């Protein structure tokens, strides 16, 4: 029974990881680079929402809206100001610049917001404590279901965007071959900037839910990057549905690890990740380009 409970909690935790990993997967799918600042940007988004709540006292769910808009803009500007130039300088430079950005964001948050942990759990109200008891030992928390639902909705929305809309088509075309896409009139600069903007906004959304569900601190970024990356690798790079499955597997691995010993939660996830690397070499749904 406790194992079943751990699996259920793990699936809901996995919804969070899937949401966190979506942006990382999208940027890799479109631009073939890994944004090492992804976790730090998620935490930046969370702090932005926290700051708005702290200043205005409005509901965190309302504060989320300006935070997402700003973070989309941050991503857009990041692409035009830094990543575009990095991409032209070969495969190493984007890794080094995004790593540098992570260092800058983490320490700027530390300098501005002090090392204290922050939570949006209180201001978010009842949703963070409500739960449904299924049996005596198994309860499903409202916030867990909400995050899982939002993750599924974001992935579904992104799937629809890429598969059905003109912008999505040009994004997939650019992912496959930017030069040819340019020939038929796609503005690949704008496409890349939009992709990074969307990815950064989804990262901020995940960071927001981290703050609602638990706590964030300025040093949370690197850990979140690692979790997002593990979810993406377990699921398979470049596949959005793989990202969902990878997130769920990671969540379950962590809750099962925690069952052995609370300290082993993260270790459980790391070991599943290493096992996937060792036995498959690539994830479950490996794909080229942005597959939907």
Q: Residue 95 or 284: which CB sits closer to other proteins?
A: 95
Cα distance between residue 172 and residue 66, in whole Å: 28
Tokens 């941050």 locate to: 74
Q: Residue 98 or 119: which CB sits closer to other proteins?
A: 98
Taking the CB of residue 55, how many other CB atoms lie within 10 A of it? 9
Shortest reach from residue 178's CB to other proteins, in Å: 18
Shortest reach from residue 224's CB to other proteins, in Å: 12
**Given CA atoms 138, 143, 144, 145 in this order, what sign does their dihedral have?**
positive
Shortest reach from residue 78's CB to other proteins, in Å: 11
Shortest reach from residue 121's CB to other proteins, in Å: 25
Q: Is residue 238 a contact partner of residue 27, using CB atoms and an 8 Å limit?
A: no
Q: Residue 81 or 157: which CB sits closer to other proteins?
A: 81
Provide the binding-site residues for other proteins, judged by CB under 8 A.
28, 32-34, 36, 82, 85-86, 89, 91-97, 99-104, 107-108, 110-111, 222, 225-226, 229-230, 233, 237, 263, 266-267, 270-271, 273-274, 277-278, 281
Cα distance between residue 168 and residue 110, in whole Å: 37
Shortest reach from residue 18's CB to other proteins, in Å: 17
Q: Give, as one character, the DSSP assignment of residue 141.
A: E
Q: Give, as one character, the DSSP assignment of residue 115.
A: S
Q: Is residue 106 a contact partner of residue 44, using CB atoms and an 8 Å limit?
A: no
Q: What are phi and psi of 223, to 5 degrees?
A: -60, -40
Q: Residue 152 or 277: which CB sits closer to other proteins?
A: 277
Q: Residue 16 or 28: which CB sits closer to other proteins?
A: 28
């Amino acid at each position: 029974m406790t194992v079943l409970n751990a699996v259920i909690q793990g699936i809901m935790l996995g919804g969070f990881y899937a949401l966190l990993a979506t942006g990382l997967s999208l940027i890799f799918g479109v631009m073939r680079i890994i944004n090492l600042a992804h976790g730090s940007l998620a935490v930046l988004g969370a702090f932005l929402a926290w700051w708005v709540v702290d200043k205005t006292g409005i509901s965190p769910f309302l504060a989320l809206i300006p935070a997402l808009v700003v973070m989309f803009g941050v991503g857009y500007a990041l692409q035009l100001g830094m990543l575009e130039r990095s991409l032209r300088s070969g495969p190493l430079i984007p890794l080094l610049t995004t790593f540098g950005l992570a260092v800058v964001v983490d320490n700027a948050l530390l300098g501005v917001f002090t090392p204290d942990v922050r939570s949006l759990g209180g201001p978010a109200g009842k949703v963070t404590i409500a739960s449904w008891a299924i049996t005596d030992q198994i309860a499903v928390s409202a916030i867990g279901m909400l995050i899982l639902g939002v993750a599924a909705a974001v992935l579904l929305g992104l799937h629809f965007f890429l598969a059905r809309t003109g912008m999505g088509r040009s994004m997939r075309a650019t992912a496959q071959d930017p030069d040819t896409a340019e020939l038929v009139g796609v503005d690949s600069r704008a496409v890349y900037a939009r992709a990074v903007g969307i990815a950064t906004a989804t990262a901020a959304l995940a960071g927001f839910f981290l703050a609602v569900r638990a706590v964030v601190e300025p040093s949370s970024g690197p850990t979140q990057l690692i979790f997002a990356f593990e979810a993406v690798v377990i699921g398979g790079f470049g596949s959005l549905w793989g990202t969902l499955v990878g997130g769920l597997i990671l969540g379950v691995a962590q809750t099962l690890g925690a069952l052995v010993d609370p300290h082993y939660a993260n270790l459980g996830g790391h070991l599943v990740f290493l096992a996937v690397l060792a036995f498959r070499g690539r994830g479950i749904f490996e794909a080229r380009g942005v597959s939907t």
